[in-house]
Amino acid sequence: MSATTTSRVVIVGASAAGLAAAETLRREGHTGPLTLIGDEPAAPYDRPPLSKEILSGAWPPDRLPLRTPADLDALDLDTRYGREAIGASVAEGTVLLADGTEVTYDGLIVATGVRPRRLPGTPAHVLRTLDDALALKDRLGPGRTLAVVGAGFLGAEAASVAAGLGTHVTLLEPAPVPLAHAVGEDLGRMLAQAHLDHGVDLRTGTGVSEVVPGGVRLDDGSVVEADTVLVAVGSRPNTEWLTGSGLTLDDGLVCDEFSAAAPGVYGAGDVARWHNPLFGTSMRIEHRTNAAEQGMAAARNLLGAQRPFAPVPYFWSDQYDMKIRAYGYLRGHDEMRIAEGSLEERKFTAVYRTGDRLTGVLAVGMPPKTTRPWQQAIAASTPWRQATSLLEGAAA
């Protein structure tokens, strides 16, 4: 079942994915009622700058909105900001809000994103919303101490910003090498060294059992003291409100290659676990670019396009003076090789093999044009042997 151009469409999630879906529906000719529901009181805003420009103070908060009020007005949306969805029924075509309101739909797009995982004990800072970022920013600066639990991309970015503001940072990571599961051990060690070079007290192989007043307690019972604690240990997809809805939930809203979770119901962004036919696997991607792209794809497919959503995922990260860009699906890779530059100089392009094909590329300190041929090769499902010839050509 696909929505008609005049049917009632509800988007749950006033996020980058939700906004992209709304804009695409209007652009593709949907003239019917269009409701956008969000649990935050604000209109859709950009989240990647929260751990970068907002936390550092380089941007004022008013730079975050994704669209101007006039742009949003032009979409003729029934906006329900600050209204949390707590239930849904596919059989009845309804979404239930926390205030008791029931919203009916002919087509539904779920774009509710994720929320931070937390640790037991004393409440600690997390970093997901604008309020989170501003509250943490107020705790940073010379003479302050910060313990960051988790050296993934979010924790690493926050640690780098805090250190740059003069904060004494202790970065705690349970794995032996930060981000090794995502980018490989060699790159993980290089990123770890960058923290050490900037005065961060990085402790790997160190688990945290709970947050305590004035710091965190480690698995061995000892306490790391800190004025402020940031917990950056991953996230959970916001799917609890869909329990009993008739939709399949498994570390996200389970969708097919069209981002469809059921007839007339589509998922988009961080909350959606869909089958990406380009890589032949199910994936849930928590990156800004994917959110917008999947929001557009979900909207088009809801209107009947029925085109598989098969992107080459993209993400970026800013840490200290390093600009990191990556395309593809790097997790679970079998081999990483340096195509250009060197890890020692922190200026290189690395490529990744999974099975017998090229599946990823990651560049640090390189111009964007260096990754374009690799991005195209990933999109073309290039065999590793052929990619190896490209490597040899680059070396020559």
On the question of pLDDT at 3 being above 90, the answer is no
Name the nearest CA neighbour of 288 among 159, 113, 136. 113
pLDDT value of residue 275: 98
Q: What are phi and psi of 218, to 5 degrees?
A: -85, 165
Q: Please say whether the dihedral angle defined by the alpha carbons of residues 286, 238, 271 and 249, taken in this order, is positive or negative.
A: positive
Strand residue runs (E) in 7-158: 9-12, 34-38, 78-81, 85-89, 94-97, 102-104, 107-110, 114-116, 145-149
Average pLDDT over residues 151-170: 97
Q: What is the pLDDT of residues 295-344, one digit of tens each?
A: 999 999 999 999 999 999 999 999 999 999 999 999 889 999 999 999 99
Residues 6+ apart with CB under 8 A from 2: 107, 264, 301, 302, 303, 304, 306
Average pLDDT over residues 141-165: 97
Q: How far is CA 355 from CA 284, 359, 375, 376, in A?
A: 20, 9, 18, 18
On the question of pLDDT at 393 being above 60, the answer is no
Model pTM score: 0.95
Query: Are residues 112 and 13 in contact, defined by beta-carbon separation less than 8 angstroms?
Result: yes
On the question of pLDDT at 28 being above 60, the answer is yes
What is the C-alpha separation between 113 and 189, in angstroms, rounded?
30
Name the nearest CA neighbour of 248 among 239, 235, 236. 239
Q: What is the pLDDT of residues 224-278, one digit of tens each?
A: 999 999 999 999 999 999 999 999 999 999 999 999 999 999 999 999 999 999 9
Q: What percent of the chain has pLDDT over 90?
A: 95
Q: Give me the residues paired with residue 168 across strands.
A: 145
Query: Are residues 110 and 253 in contact, defined by beta-carbon separation less than 8 angstroms?
Result: yes
What is the C-alpha separation between 208 and 212, in angstroms, rounded?
11
- Using a 10 angstrom Cβ sphere, with 0-12 exposed, 13-18 middle and 19 or more buried, the burial of residue 213 is exposed
pLDDT value of residue 6: 72
DSSP 327: E
Query: Are residues 163 and 200 in contact, defined by beta-carbon separation less than 8 angstroms?
Result: yes
Instruction: Quickly state the pLDDT bin for 134 (edges 50, 70, 90).
Output: very high
Beta carbons within 10 angstroms of residue 175's beta carbon: 17
Instruction: Quickly state the pLDDT bin for 396 (edges 50, 70, 90).
Output: very low
Q: How far is CA 142 from CA 132, 162, 164, 340, in A?
A: 20, 9, 10, 38
Name the nearest CA neighbour of 45 among 25, 19, 70. 19
Q: What are phi and psi of 226, to 5 degrees?
A: -160, 145
Q: What is the pLDDT of residues 47-98, one digit of tens each?
A: 999 999 999 999 999 999 999 999 999 999 999 999 999 999 999 999 999 9
What is the C-alpha separation between 358 and 150, in angstroms, rounded?
29
Instruction: Quickly state the pLDDT bin for 389 (edges 50, 70, 90).
Output: confident
Name the nearest CA neighbour of 319 among 169, 144, 116. 169
pLDDT value of residue 388: 80
Query: Are residues 123 and 135 in contact, defined by beta-carbon separation less than 8 angstroms?
Result: no
Query: Are residues 197 and 187 in contact, defined by beta-carbon separation less than 8 angstroms?
Result: no
Average pLDDT over residues 334-355: 95
The chain-wide mean pLDDT, for the chain, equals: 95
Query: Are residues 350 and 187 in contact, defined by beta-carbon separation less than 8 angstroms?
Result: yes
On the question of pLDDT at 192 being above 70, the answer is yes
pLDDT value of residue 2: 64
